[in-house]
Amino acid sequence: MAILTLKKLGYSADVANNGLEVLAMVENQFYDLILMDMQMPEMDGVTATKIIRKSDKPQPWIIAIT
């Protein structure tokens, strides 16, 4: 639903299936905003967010969703 809403508003979005994919994606590209699912498989959103926050890279806004 979030992807469809963003698309209708004219935004593009990348989709990660789990927290490990999120970390790989933020290593390769800067994101202004991350809608972080708190209950992802393999690595939850809380853990992924903590790892992103420890990074020296520019920090995106992260909005927790569930």
Entry field: residues in the chain: 66
Residue 1 pLDDT > 90: no
- In terms of pLDDT, which residue wins out, 2 or 50? 50
- Of the pLDDT bands very low, low, confident and very high (cuts 50, 70, 90), residue 46 is very high
DSSP of 34-50: EEEETT-SSS-HHHHHH
Q: Residue 13 to residues 8, 54, 56: CA-CA distances in angstroms?
A: 11, 24, 23
- In terms of pLDDT, which residue wins out, 34 or 2? 34
The amino acid that residue 15 corresponds to is V
Decide if 11 contacts 2 (C-beta within 8 A).
Answer: no
